[in-house]
Structure 1
């Protein structure tokens, strides 16, 4: 038995879904070749998975098996996951038994706890693999040979160009991370910016950079929930949010836009950059248990509809899905290169979990399971924008 299912049935299925040759090793049996040509990777099954676990949640069962070394992959983990996730629609999920995991509380208190569980595991850890910009979001590769840092710089250029930033404007970054976007905007355009985050570690790192760059008169970072914006009396010419909407939760999308509306000046621009999905979905059980507790990926269509309800005019929508595949693979390469230092910080289970996270996300983007969209919105009709997108590529 393999994965609690008859071996012959599994191997026949694997041959049908994969055009990449690979090898499967089972306990006390000869290696089995799947497909024609030289194997790109080898899957070793050290302990067969229970059929009941796979039916409970296929992704949770496979993810935990990899973390615990019940399954090991020799060779290209991304290639293996790219095959597996091409079939994700066939993965089983027992929604009833996983209800609390898939639909956690969207209260401010619980969401702060969930955000902190991911982003507060240490600035030293993130600095090992995010690159010099400390940008934890999709980069923008203008050229195939761009380095990760160059592509992250490109992303900042792209966003600031879309926002049509002018010297002296005010800019709010909701979910500012370690603040690189605001730091660059302040240095280039002398903006007055505020970054809000729920992560203590990110806020600490951002504040340190503000002081090192001597930008105290231009930038401020706050530990602040987006729900507090309506009562803040703050107003801004521009608002940006990069990779934060995924933490808001489907029940709170309307509330999120109400708060953006409350602080954005008339004729102001709002750029929303977020991981999206083709359809509405509660999320993947393994990702929600181990990586992003409470995380929900909005569909493009539901966000566009909400924008209209709040009289936000959609000026531009762009998919950066393929850019995120490259970004994640760059992060994974940096992560593996820093493995000696990572091993001094975390145990084997965490180390395997984090590489699985980076590779599975890359494979998910590659297969179109998830997407990345940037939406540019204006508060009311705005007639002084460039007539074409040419300025974005100059």
Structure 2
């Protein structure tokens, strides 16, 4: 397996190198040993459902090897045998070796499912010479693994139920950090210059004779839709739930002269947002706080307006009541306006999707 620097850019690898600490923090009050005693057997139980093909698991920290699925005789592969023989039919379906280099892999996979597996691979916590065969192995066993589209479905369904009952302030911080504290440079590589990380609003019927609409223009259309929809004026104090990299706050102040208090749980986003705000000359009008909305104290004078752009997806359906109760507490009763944007889906897909961790 190539060394880590050749797999991912240094800007991505550096924050990921804190992964073990993040994983340890995710188990909350549990100690590392007892947490592993839960995570590892759960994952091995998933592996034990393999019926077609062969997975040789080499656990270096625990110094043991185990074969899941069809056992291969020495004449097929000396490295994939424990002395048992099967028919030649096994030779036509996936056979793969997975080497576990760090015990952090078990907790990462247990907590974050497919994303955890990908991060463990990037961090060198596991080695697998043939990832294609690895995923094929679980595809051909998908009926045994559960009804999901990937082998992680059985595991992630169980984990999602655990996550929904432990969505504490510290876990929310962990989830946001794992996603947004990877690298500002990485996000800048595919976002428009305004660094807006949410769905834009494109022209419904663009004029073919006009230049093609840019992503930045579509994002500005979206931001102005919020500013106008919330009827923000210069005297307003606006609360933004989910700072991103500061594009809404900057545009709102630029257009109306209002004040904005913006909340984020990402240290990386806060740092860059504040740089951009200072460069725009609005440091006296915009206050970016590293604070969960649930922890924000009710101000003496409630906020005139509240704006939240694609943050609801991170709340979880069980906590929507808590979320909107906080909005009610923070928004002024007379004339207050709150505007939200969120991603939706057909009702028929909701039940299955809600069991996942996306």
Instruction: Please state which band the TM-score falls in when normalised by the shorter chain.
Output: 0.5 to 0.7
Tell me, in whole angstroms, the C-alpha distance in 2 between the residues paired with 1:58 and 1:256: 30
Tell me, in whole angstroms, the C-alpha distance in 1 between the residues paired with 2:234 and 2:159: 47
Three-state SS of the structure 2 residue aligned to 1:275 is coil
Equivalence for 1:139 = 200
Does the 8 Å CA contact 2:308/2:339 hold for their aligned counterparts?
A: yes
- TM (norm. structure 2) is 0.55
Q: Please, what is the CA RMSD of the aligned residues?
A: 3.0
User: Quick one: higher RCO (CA 8 Å, sep 6+), 1 or 2?
Assistant: 1
1:146: Cα distance to partner? Answer: 1.5
Equivalence for 1:49 = 137
Matched, 1:171 2:259: no
Does the 8 Å CA contact 2:243/2:264 hold for their aligned counterparts?
A: yes
Structure 2: runs of 5+ lacking an equivalent: 1-50, 54-90, 93-131, 207-211
Task: Write out per-residue CA displacement over residues 24-83 of structure 1, whole angstroms, 9 at most, x where no aligned residue.
Answer: xxx99xxxxxxxxxxxxxxxx76743443454354334xx8xxxxxxxxxxxxxxxxxxx
- 1:162-201 equivalence runs, <5 A: 162-201=229-268
Q: 1:223 aligns with which of 290, 301, 310?
A: 290
Q: 1:269 to 1:56 in 2, by over 3 A?
A: same
Q: 1:274 aligns with which of 328, 333, 342?
A: 342
1:169: Cα distance to partner? Answer: 1.5
Number of residue pairs the alignment of both structures matches: 220
1:220: Cα distance to partner? Answer: 0.6
Structure 1: runs of 5+ lacking an equivalent: 6-26, 29-44, 65-92, 293-394
Q: 1:107 to 1:120 in 2, by over 3 A?
A: same
1:268: Cα distance to partner? Answer: 0.8
Does the 8 Å CA contact 2:249/2:262 hold for their aligned counterparts?
A: yes
Tell me, in whole angstroms, the C-alpha distance in 2 between the residues paired with 1:282 and 1:229: 33
Tell me, in whole angstroms, the C-alpha distance in 2 between the residues paired with 1:264 and 1:134: 27
Task: Write out per-residue CA displacement over residues 120-139 of structure 1, whole angstroms, 9 at most, x where no aligned residue.
Answer: 10111100001111111000
Does the 8 Å CA contact 1:243/1:275 hold for their aligned counterparts?
A: yes
Tell me, in whole angstroms, the C-alpha distance in 1 between the residues paired with 2:240 and 2:178: 21
Does the 8 Å CA contact 1:200/1:223 hold for their aligned counterparts?
A: yes
Q: 1:219 to 1:166 in 2, by over 3 A?
A: same
Equivalence for 1:98 = 157
Q: 1:218 to 1:208 in 2, by over 3 A?
A: same
Does the 8 Å CA contact 2:313/2:342 hold for their aligned counterparts?
A: yes
Q: 2:317 aligns with which of 235, 250, 254?
A: 250
Does the 8 Å CA contact 2:240/2:262 hold for their aligned counterparts?
A: yes
Matched, 1:283 2:353: yes
Q: 1:234 to 1:49 in 2, by over 3 A?
A: farther
Equivalence for 1:152 = 219
- TM (norm. structure 1) is 0.50
Q: 1:140 to 1:245 in 2, by over 3 A?
A: same
Three-state SS of the structure 1 residue aligned to 2:193 is coil
Equivalence for 2:149 = 59
Three-state SS of the structure 1 residue aligned to 2:192 is coil
Extract structure 1 runs of 4+ deviating beyond 6 A.
none
| Bigger share in strand | 1
Matched, 1:241 2:308: yes
Tell me, in whole angstroms, the C-alpha distance in 2 between the residues paired with 1:281 and 1:224: 31
